[in-house]
Amino acid sequence: MHLEAELSSYWPLLLALLAVLILLFKGPLARKFGGVEEITAERAVQLINQHDAVVIDVREQHEWSRGHLPMARHIPVGQLNKYLKDLEKHQEHHVICQCASGMRSARAASQLRKAGFQKVYSLKGGIQAWRGAGLPVEK
């Protein structure tokens, strides 16, 4: 009985720990269960060069204007649904979604998966990783 009383006094701490764990793993788990594959900048270059992959930059206009991947299309993540019809012609292509760090691109890639795109990826680390790999950016 004494052990039961001790354990019950720890339930708020256990709930707090559970909440922290959920927050820590929410992004990676959502990407994993959303069917979104994260790829490195190097893998993105391979897909672009070997398979003519389509790159969609889902950042906002002010971010886009500071530099973006060569040949990328600019469609802010909040407007992606408006462009789905236009993007349907790329459903059979490799599509790489890219943002600043990889969070919005994972969300956009998940939206595209739900819309029927099979070969859709999120650039892990976003344009920060792209620049970190020494890859070109255009303005």
Judge whether 138 lies within some domain. no
Judge whether 5 lies within some domain. yes
State how many domains the chain has: 2
pTM of the model: 0.77
Provide the residue-wise pLDDT of the chain in tens; the chain has 139 residues.
565 666 567 767 767 766 666 666 655 555 554 568 999 999 999 999 999 999 999 999 999 999 999 999 999 999 999 999 999 999 999 999 999 998 999 999 999 999 999 999 999 999 999 999 999 999 9
Which domain CATH number covers 92? 3.40.250.10
Closest CA to 108 of 46, 63, 59, 67: 59
Q: Which domain holds residue 66?
A: 36-132
The catalytic residue among 55, 97, 99, 112 is 99
Judge whether 29 lies within some domain. yes
Judge whether 44 lies within some domain. yes
**Contact in structure between 43 and 125 (CB atoms under 8 Å):** no
Does residue 99 carry a catalytic annotation? yes
